[in-house]
Structure 1
């Protein structure tokens, strides 16, 4: 009796009849990998567009002079040096309620530092600059 690939490891008749291994479907593995790769790239592009570097990037440096009717904030806006911007500045109370909101014009400069006193309707505990964009005329 000659040994086949299926009986090379096991004694004949001991574990039942062994089948020859099926040929692998490499085209299917390649297809699934390609689809997964394309999907990964599309997701990465979408997330980069949504969360990647923005044209106007505000960042609060500090806030101080907190009183019952206002708060002073220093923030930086990174943008093209030639562009002017308008930023929303918002203050919140201890309960999370919005107690102050203003639109602040930012002068040209690659990193414009802005100091602004925001009037509030109640005592604020924090201030944020949630968004900046192209300067709007008033």
Structure 2
């Protein structure tokens, strides 16, 4: 049966039969598959966020530089305080930079709080490859 002007709604294009292949049937929608993929994606992003938070963003390990003194051509003494969970320990990354901002020393230091204490004050001797201008604590994380 061919289409005639009487069976075609007005405004619909008329194509010659057989010239453009057959028409597609409307596709079956798969909302369950899309929802499942969205849930898996959100779960993966959540796991990545949790891992990065544990690695870089744990608020229980806060470091504060109190002073940096005894600056010579080969050293700086960094006095810093770390807040940890009760009786916990932390690994802190210390560094020294020269006046131009170039890093002249970097070292990881492990500090442990006595039982029942949350703050640790430590003085660390940081050996440098040039004359430092500043000593700083970059970050602290839980000790492994």
2:103 counterpart SS class:
coil
> Please, what is the CA RMSD of the aligned residues?
4.0
Report what 1:124 is aligned to: 132
TM-score, normalised to structure 1, is: 0.56
Tell me how far 1:51 sits from its aligned partner. 1.6
1:23 counterpart SS class:
coil
Answering whether residue 103 of structure 2 is matched by residue 96 of structure 1, we say yes
Query: 1:19–1:64: structure 2 CA closer, same or farther, 3 Å change rule?
Result: same
How many residue pairs align between the two structures? 126
Report what 1:11 is aligned to: 11
TM-score, normalised to structure 2, is: 0.54
Query: 1:67–1:30: structure 2 CA closer, same or farther, 3 Å change rule?
Result: same
Moved more, 121-130 or 27-36: 121-130
The structure 2 residue matched to 1:24, chosen from 19, 29, 33, is 29
Give the distance between the partners of 2:63 and 2:104, measured in 1 at CA.
22
